[in-house]
Amino acid sequence: MPGSPSKRSPSKRKQAATQEPRPPQTACRQNIVFMNDALLSSSDIKVIKLRHPSTGLSAMYMFDKEKNKLYDMYAFDEGHRSWFIGESVQSDGRLFVTSPVDVTYLVLPYMMKATMNVPLDHLLEDADFPAISWLADVATKRDFSHVADRKGSPELGVWKYNEEKTLSWLAGRVTRLATLLQEKKVPTSTAQSFTFVRTMSLVETKEAYVVLAHGIISDYLPESLSKALHKHLKLPEVRGKQKTSEGVENQAPAKRRKTEGPLEDYSKDSVPVNKSNTPQTAKAKALAKSAAGSKSITSFFTKK
């Protein structure tokens, strides 16, 4: 999991070290994080751990307590990479990027599993992730009428999950994202070139971008909701990915070895071939005459 990023740039950290007494030498963990300038100007930023809405596993988020906003943290790790920070080398070469996240995606899994109509701050309780209280602070001030029905007075903050509203809202998000991806001419697959996109028909191109947008949105949805959205959008059935011999997906399949062999065994009962006696040319006769009495080159490599 990504570590807590520093709030100050490496240059400012170096300046502060020259003004303050040098502490005892200890292991200092540093990370490279790209973030919005608004976060740098905030006085209270926390890196918290929440349950990921798609996988249900632990994920890191950045919480701006001053502006009451939540940011997603993406980690790009290509392996075997380090960073040079000032005069030090950070062996962890991961790159972190922050992006604003709609808290609706984080609240949806809890709404979908709710068995009783309770206030949102009571609904957002998770013993494994105590930092969810920060999410509750953000969510209680939001309107969730696009994915749920309000129960009781607005002061209670009670919402009941509505699948029809949710699918309609998600379909609109997919459509807008697909339009943006098409305007940016983003390839619809890792192996697809821009030329291939242009050669598709308009209907096929639009559908390809909707499929891509659905996949991106599904990264923030539970699997059941992702499948329901796929059906709601009337997208083509997903074909199973062919795995290589090592079981790694998204790789070009290894070339299939040809298993068909000859139907006859030519190593047995071989029939000698009769060579036709073709007449030699004058040049060939001259070469044969000059080579008379000389040894073959293979005779020098025979065992004596």
Question: Tens digit of pLDDT for each residue in 161-190?
Answer: 999 999 999 999 999 999 999 999 888 864
Predicted pLDDT of residue 263: 46
Per-residue model confidence (pLDDT) at position 5:
45
Of residues 242 and 32, more confidence is placed in 32
- The predicted pLDDT at position 221 comes to 97
Class of residue 4 by CB neighbours under 10 A (exposed 0-12, middle 13-18, buried 19+): middle
Q: Say what the pLDDT of residue 74 is.
A: 82
Q: Are 220 and 105 in contact (CB under 8 A)?
A: yes
pLDDT confidence band for 205 (50 / 70 / 90): confident
More confident residue, 40 or 17: 40
Rounded to 5 degrees, φ, ψ at 37 are: -60, -30
User: What pLDDT is stored for residue 8 in this prediction?
Assistant: 40
Mean pLDDT of 26-51: 78
In terms of pLDDT, which residue wins out, 172 or 42?
Answer: 172
> Residue type for 122, please?
H
- Ordered by where they begin, the domains of the chain are 1-101 (2.20.25.530)
User: For residue range 47-65, what is the model confidence (pLDDT) as tens digits?
Assistant: 899 999 999 999 999 999 8
Residue 153 or 264, more confident: 153
CA Rg, the chain, in Å?
A: 34
Q: CA 96, CA 100: separation in Å to the nearest integer? A: 14
Residue 259 has pLDDT above 60, yes or no: no
pLDDT: which is higher, 295 or 143 = 143
Cα distance between residue 301 and residue 168, in whole Å:
83
79 pLDDT more than 90:
no
Residue that wins the pLDDT comparison between 99 and 239: 99
Q: Which residue, 96, 50, 52, 55, is CA-closest to 77?
A: 96
Q: What is the pLDDT of residue 45?
A: 87
> Which strand (E) or helix (H) includes residue 34?
strand 32-34
Which residues are bridge partners to 104 per DSSP? none
Q: Quick one: average pLDDT of 83-106?
A: 86
* Mean pLDDT of the 196-224 span: 86
Q: CA-to-CA distance for 76 and 35, rounded, in angstroms?
A: 14
